[in-house]
Structure 1
């Protein structure tokens, strides 16, 4: 997937942001010039994640590691 908006669209549609997609977003935000529309899409994704409407695979993995370590 190229560009920020397609990644955000996929995450919003599925309610899930994969580790791979998260890394792609990081790279795009650091290495490319992006439009205001891309920036707004990214902000929307952040808001939806904070509201719990989009789950982050990376956080789920950390949570499962924490539970395993505590057991």
Structure 2
């Protein structure tokens, strides 16, 4: 299984975080990981907040909300 840094690097490079990759991160974050992985995860969070990385799950949620007229 990939480590957190690998998942983060892929998301930062592509500008996109798929649901599958989010699930991988959730699994990886439940285990013991080095400080470098934590730093990478925080970098990803900032990139998402700044709009540099899009989340598939958020796009799906927003799309569902729009289709329901909410």
Q: Confirm or deny a common fold (TM above 0.5).
A: yes
- Stretches of structure 1 that go unaligned for 5 or more consecutive residues are none
TM-score by length of 2: 0.96
Moved over 4 A (4+): none
| Greater helix share, structure number | 1
Provide the aligned C-alpha RMSD in A. 1.2
Structure 1 residues 11-69: Cα deviation after superposition (integer angstroms, max 9, x where no partner): 00000000000010001101x11000000000000000000000000000000000110
TM-score by length of 1: 0.94
Residue of structure 1 equivalent to 2:10: 10
- Stretches of structure 2 that go unaligned for 5 or more consecutive residues are none
